[in-house]
Amino acid sequence: MPKYSDDYYLTPQEIDELSADAKQVSKVIAALFRFETEIHYSYRVEWAAESAEYIGLCEEFPSLSWINSDQDKARLGIEKLVFEVVKDMIIQGENIPEMQKSTLR
pLDDT, tens digit (0-9, with 9 covering 90-100), for 19-45: 988 988 888 788 777 766 666 889 999
| Cα–Cα dist 89/35, whole Å | 12
How do the domains of the chain map onto residue ranges? 10-103
Give 68's strand partners: 54
Phi, psi (5° rounding) for residue 48?
Answer: -105, 105
Taking the model in full, what pTM does it have? 0.66
What value does the mean pLDDT take over residues 56-63? 95
Phi, psi (5° rounding) for residue 63?
Answer: -85, -5
- Residue 25, Cα to own-chain centre: how many angstroms? 14
What letter does residue 46 receive in the DSSP assignment?
E
